[in-house]
Amino acid sequence: MATAAQLLKQKDRVIHSIEPDSPVLEAIRLMAEHSVGALLVMHGTQLVGVVSERDYARKVILKGRSSSETPVSQIMSSPVLTVRPDQSVRECMRIMSEKRVRHLPVVEGERVVGVLSIGDLVRSVLEEQQQTIEQLERYIHY
């Protein structure tokens, strides 16, 4: 089973983030620009939250707040669920399923080294299953 670190090696290592005092409108613009569903909320190098499209829909749109006047800190999810680079894809999927989140920052010590999405994990599991099927088919044919 692959680890978080192994999945990160296959990805673009760019970490998209925003400051907690930035307006929500800027967060939505950045998500659209980078085609991502969430941003890390960073105060300098410190991870303080995650803001997602879901947060925007539920905490701004449905509550009639202003996107340009509401700071990200008021709608972000915090404290942040994180994983270590050595944790398995299976552990990451369990955390995402139990906590109903779609993005997991990968943290080594105090440093964010990447972000895994539910799509990254599903893709990894499907690839592993396909390899297992191919190995079993080769075994059966010999």
Give the number of domains in the chain.
1
The CATH number of whichever domain residue 63 belongs to comes to: 3.10.580.10
CA angle centred on 72, ends 67 and 78, rounded to 5°: 140
Domain enclosing residue 43, as ranges: 4-141
Q: Contact at 8 Å (CB) between 54 and 100?
A: no
Written as one letter, the residue type at 73 is: S
Per-residue pLDDT, averaged over 6-30, amounts to: 93
Q: Give me the torsion for CA of 121, 126, 130, 133, rounded to 10°.
A: 110
What is residue 137's predicted lDDT score, i.e. its pLDDT?
82
pLDDT tens digits, one per residue of 84-100: 999 999 999 999 999 99
What is the band of 105 on the pLDDT scale with cuts at 50, 70, 90? very high
What is the band of 34 on the pLDDT scale with cuts at 50, 70, 90? very high
How far apart (Å, rounded) are the C-alpha atoms in residues 115 and 96? 13
What one-character DSSP code corresponds to residue 74? G
How far apart (Å, rounded) are the C-alpha atoms in residues 32 and 36? 7
